[in-house]
Structure 1
Amino acid sequence: MADFGKAILDGAGAFPLDKYQFLRRLREASTEQYYQLLCYYTQQVLPYIYTPTVGEACQQYHALRIKARGLYLRLDHRSSILSQLKAWPQKDVRVIVVTDGERILGLGDLGANGMGISEGKIELYTAAAGVNPAVCLPVCLDVGTNNVKLREHPDYTGLRAPRPIRQQVYDEFVQEFMEAVQAWQPHTLIQFEDFGNTNAFRILERYEDTACCFNDDIQGTAAITLAALLAALRVTGQRLADQRILFMGAGEAATGIASLISFCIHRRDGISEQEARQRCHLMDSKGLVVAGRTDLQHHKLPFAHANVPPCATLIEAVRAIKPTVLIGVSAVANAFTPEVLAAMAELNERPIIFPLSNPTHLAECTFEQAYRATGGRVLFASGSPFDTIVDERGVAHHPPQANNAYIFPAVGHAAVLTRAQRIPEEVFLVAAERLAAMATPAELEAGALFPPFSRIRAISADVMAAVAAHLVDAALGTAPEGWPAEQREGWAAAALRAMWSPPPPAAPSSRL
């Protein structure tokens, strides 16, 4: 079977975008062969169906003249969204990934080109957690774009208009979409993806208590980062409550991570969430988020601390706060300068450094930069993949990727299987703690905070079992039919059995 995967990928072209387009063509021409590649060679295919390649694909989506696989709902479809959904060929949809394209990765407003994000994420539900592709639907809410250059491009197929000035127009459109989905497919999971900061928080707050939904940028990113941090603390032997965590960035990812970390400290150590938030410090483009600033958005206020001095630069903040953990979610390339990395190494025996921004060229630092600056002592996780480093002893150090695909497909599939009414914050804490415990001592010693992605289905099954148990125990869902209700230790095996898979590749010479 190894030759099968190599044969397909070798025929895909030299550049990542060539492989991205090749895989799309393969999906159209030989669906079974495509899903064999996706499900049996997930680790090899992942960079080409999602990060880092999907960012470039979204930037060029219009110029590539890609045939969209998902459903576009345009602002001028108002009052007809339900009929648009009912007309869609798939009649049994259980998972929707939806974007409005306003904040694609760290690349900004890409409007209707954001469909590439929904398409990429929805494939990971199948690859990582075995959701049948027949029940998966990518959606793009096309409300226009403020990217003038893009909307004026002759090949752009989206709505050629700015985003709505009136918030009410936008909110009513999103509300109609949410109500239409619930009327069409009442037990469908909705994953929000790459909405702009202001809308992302408002939408999540509005619907999280009444719909089976979550925002992966806020909650999925928070869970994978918390899992990486908890795994790193298995190495240092320290408590989460004793960390000082500095974020470069103060958007939806940063505040989502900080909130889940604070919630975890609250649950583990019994201190108030307000006190737990004192461990988390955020920096935005104007400096450290501190009390007294009058320019702070609503989502930053819980982390505006009075007990720290104002700092204009990251190195000032590092020296003032003396963080044990440095997390980058700024989309500012090379923000973790050699001076910053050296300071982290001086402050900590095992500095924890997570440059999480995507795509690769926007990462705050590379693995090599962090490794060299800390003398190999860094505990590292990144948003995009980086190459392995082999030290002078010939030992390979593998930088783990804090990829949301370890979390969101398992959470989503568990919610689908249990027919969850909603997905509370505790779910992401459960998922993070389960994942954090999975790496073996040998893997941790080699710098791998997570088990290899090649084992993603077994990993997802464990996370699915933990999440499903929480949802059932919280009376937010029901045990899936056939799962041993009183024997939770059997749920991981049941989750594996519930996963859809294509037949294994039959011949290594098969290729498009």
Structure 2
Amino acid sequence: MTTMLLQQLRARATPLDKYLFLRDLQRDAEDQFYQLLLRHTEEILPYVYTPTVGEACQRYSHLPISTRGLYLRATEAGSFLDKLRAWPQQIIRVVVVTDGERILGLGDLGAGGMGISEGKILLYTAAAGVHPHLCMPVCLDVGTNNQQLLADPAYKGLRQKRLTGQAYDDVVDEFVRALQQWQPYVLVQFEDFANHNAFRLLERYREQLCCFNDDIQGTACITLAGLLSALRATGTSLLQQRFLFYGAGEAGTGIGELIALALQERHGLTREQGREHCFFMDSQGLVCASRNNLQHHKLPFAHDVPFQRDLISAVRHLRPTALIGVSTIHGAFSADVIQEMAQLNDRPIIFPLSNPTSMAECTFKEAFRGTAGRVLFASGSPFQPITLRRGVVHYPTQSNNAYVFPAIGHAAVLTACSHIPEEVFLLAAEALAHMTTLEELDQGLLFPRFTHVFDVSAELVAVVAQYMVQQGLGKQPADFESVLAAEQPLRAGRTAWEAYGRSKMFYGPDDSTSGPLAKL
């Protein structure tokens, strides 16, 4: 059956056509959809998530689709708990929520942001085996400042300017309180909130419930994992690196903070000394101490260095070992910039992380050719490999958050974790960085192939869950010992936590090892 479905999918003319085919399949034949998703994850993922989901969010109100998630509209304030209690599934463990203000690199898409929650929630199942019926996508519709949407007769969201200030905070707070009252335990993933709310909301709720912001913490985790993996190829340590970020928003500064934490925890620096390894460019130029127009989240990285107006000047002055793009500016890593990085470094690290593909700072081909093939590369969107003479293939690495956040979330669910500290993301990054084989590194891959993501997730779930229990953040599940007894003897090299985590993974509706919801 999946072979026939795959052929039907491939016959669709455009990525958006494939997206619509898969949505229809999920609605009309759910079991077949999940069989296809779980058996052919690497091929399916670009159509249910990035890069295709960006176009889907832009055109959401015009597409012939039924919304799969829950809208909580500002005009319905006071009734959020009732709406949650009316949801068809009454056992929910994972929620992905957005307010649609900063969808990928596409900006304010209002109610169309639902598409990002619907796409992202699928990754918990596709990458880490969380049962799909335990997952719920949510969009907080608080209006939009996108004039094109407000003028569109087909727009399905509230026709009003975005709420701000206390009115906005009240909507988010009602959502959080209603969710906590509805579910005894739930993991909340904040997704694609704008900078001015993302940091603030994370700081406000991170100690109150089990939550994280994927754009800040998930991106930081996968990027640090890629950097640590690249350093295995260079034979150098994190302490020897200078990181230059093009873009100083939530993704970039989140990465910078996790790098600083790694330098503090693993190399004995202070957090401030760790931050001194990270430099940022924003729309005005280099973030530095002489500037007086910096947002709060940039101030920790405002070092006492001369101001530089443009990227090539900053590269020449700072001499970075790694260049990380989080700007959503297509082509920002010009040929001159790439060649300068190649002159400065034997193995330049170049990560154009912006999504979707049309927003990437450079392509794999541009980075590869500009460095004579010496680049250590990772991008937010997928690129095609390069085949040289004699059939030698060099592969680009996709720095896909799906390697880490679903596994972290699954570990949190299994242990009923109270909150998720930054150390969890550091631990996960380090574990992932050491899963890549030397053969894969030689081929340009900084992570294991995504076809092995279930194995990657199983190992990460084990590492993170064990840490959560040891640190008192969560507790050992009540059935832990009984499940392990049934799993004896453990497969060689498999820890108790990995065996337990694997036993709780959803492998598809046709797999005899996938049990009922109660087992989760």
Number of the residue aligned with 1:437 = 434
Number of the residue aligned with 2:220 = 222
1:3 matched to 2:3? The reply is yes
1:187 matched to 2:193? The reply is no
The 2-side partners of 1:493 and 1:16 are apart by 37
In structure 2, give the amino acid aligned to 1:152: A
Number of the residue aligned with 1:239 = 237
In structure 1, give the amino acid aligned to 2:383: F
SS at 1:365's partner residue?
coil
Question: Contact 2:415–2:469 at 8 Å: present in 1 too?
Answer: yes
In structure 2, give the amino acid aligned to 1:115: M
- Which of structure 1's runs of 4+ aligned residues deviate more than 4 A? 484-488
Q: Please list, as runs of the form range in 1=range in 2, the aligned pairs for 1:77-226 lying within 5 A after superposition.
A: 77-164=76-163, 166-226=164-224
The 1-side partners of 2:227 and 2:470 are apart by 27
The 2-side partners of 1:195 and 1:66 are apart by 24
The 1-side partners of 2:47 and 2:201 are apart by 30
The 2-side partners of 1:260 and 1:505 are apart by 38
The 1-side partners of 2:443 and 2:389 are apart by 15
Number of the residue aligned with 1:509 = none
The CA deviation string for residues 66-109 of structure 1, in whole angstroms up to 9 with x for no partner, is 21100000011111111111121211111000000000000000
SS at 1:353's partner residue?
strand
In structure 2, give the amino acid aligned to 1:59: Q
1:496 matched to 2:502? The reply is yes
Ranges in structure 2 where 5+ consecutive residues have no aligned partner: 513-520
The CA deviation string for residues 262-314 of structure 1, in whole angstroms up to 9 with x for no partner, is 101111111101001000001000000001211100000000001x1100100
SS at 1:380's partner residue?
strand
The 1-side partners of 2:441 and 2:160 are apart by 50
The CA deviation string for residues 328-353 of structure 1, in whole angstroms up to 9 with x for no partner, is 00000000000000000000000000
Number of the residue aligned with 2:421 = 424
Out of 386, 390, 394, which is 1:397 matched to? 394
The CA deviation string for residues 229-286 of structure 1, in whole angstroms up to 9 with x for no partner, is 0000000010101100000000000000000011011111111010010000010000
The CA deviation string for residues 130-164 of structure 1, in whole angstroms up to 9 with x for no partner, is 11111110000000000011122011010000102
Residues 470 and 458 of structure 1: is their aligned pair in 2 closer, same or farther, counting only changes over 3 Å?
A: same
> TM-score, normalising length from structure 1?
0.96
Question: Contact 2:60–2:112 at 8 Å: present in 1 too?
Answer: yes
Structure of higher RCO (CA pairs closer than 8 Å, 6+ residues apart): 1
In structure 2, give the amino acid aligned to 1:451: P
| Deviation of 1:14 (Å) | 1.3
The 2-side partners of 1:395 and 1:159 are apart by 53
Out of 335, 342, 349, which is 1:338 matched to? 335
| Deviation of 1:483 (Å) | 3.2
1:278 matched to 2:273? The reply is no
The 1-side partners of 2:451 and 2:109 are apart by 32
The 1-side partners of 2:509 and 2:143 are apart by 41
In structure 1, give the amino acid aligned to 2:69: G
The CA deviation string for residues 452-507 of structure 1, in whole angstroms up to 9 with x for no partner, is 0001111100011111011101101012234359998221122111101224499x
SS at 1:381's partner residue?
strand
Residues matched between the structures, number: 503
In structure 1, give the amino acid aligned to 2:435: M
In structure 2, give the amino acid aligned to 1:220: G
The 1-side partners of 2:453 and 2:256 are apart by 26
1:40 matched to 2:46? The reply is no
Question: Contact 1:124–1:405 at 8 Å: present in 2 too?
Answer: yes
The 2-side partners of 1:151 and 1:434 are apart by 46
In structure 2, give the amino acid aligned to 1:138: P
Question: Contact 1:200–1:215 at 8 Å: present in 2 too?
Answer: yes
The 1-side partners of 2:403 and 2:105 are apart by 20
In structure 2, give the amino acid aligned to 1:218: I
The 2-side partners of 1:209 and 1:505 are apart by 38
Question: Contact 2:221–2:255 at 8 Å: present in 1 too?
Answer: yes
Number of the residue aligned with 2:444 = 447
Number of the residue aligned with 1:413 = 410
SS at 1:246's partner residue?
strand
Question: Contact 1:223–1:428 at 8 Å: present in 2 too?
Answer: yes
The 2-side partners of 1:358 and 1:495 are apart by 31
Question: Contact 1:125–1:409 at 8 Å: present in 2 too?
Answer: yes
